[in-house]
Amino acid sequence: MQHRGLRESAPGDIEACALAVRAVSLLFPAFRLSWLVDEIAPALPRELDFCLERANCVRCATHFKGWADVVVPEVFPAQSSSRVLTMSFEEGFSAADAQSIEAAGIDTAAAAKLIGAAWLEQTYRHGFVHCDPHAGNVLVRRFNNSNGRPQIVLLDHGLYRELNPDFRVAFAAIWRAIILADLPGIELAAKRLGVGDSYPLFAAILTQRPWDDIAKKNDLGRLSTAGRGAADEVMIRAHAQRCAHTRYFYHLSDV
């Protein structure tokens, strides 16, 4: 249920955000933050429309109709409105609650793989992506009475992003190039995504690995974050600062 007055106060929140962005832009011209307002202004009213969330929920459920291990709550239109959304109650553990998931005998590695597969399905097959996939919006539970097989529940369908085919192809291409350490391929795909010459930073952000690791060939473990330490984070941060000083900022508002 939506709090009374929330929708009416939203325009004021957007204007306050725009004012803050304008102030920062005046004080720090090198930081281009207007994209924040461009993202928030159309997104906030959509998140406050529960009729739209209901439609998103139904569409998402259609996309996973053949996936027995991915559950989307059933919605009840007769008991719903633009401010009230009634759905089936679904149990499960927060995706971040590894201790409870393990205690329930659920295979955590399989659960992680399933979550990743669900978002790949949304991104590449359907181009209709859940925009708020934090741990509280992804529940993990045992699949029926199986021995460790996980099932996930996707919650909070208020905000989705449509990805056009060109973006999906370019995004797939950059990941393929990263995996193969194909540096020209990374540059080409990143530029198709509108990143420009800051493709090393973009690749580092995607992988959470320093560019030097990404560029290594014949090293299958170079992209693993398991051994990531403070030194790697310092390298990524230093690269980002260099890009900031040379105005290597970008946004993907056209996807």
The catalytic site residues sit at 132
CA-closest candidate to residue 91, choices 52, 45, 127, 144: 144
Contact between 36 and 21 under an 8 Å Cβ cutoff? The reply is: yes
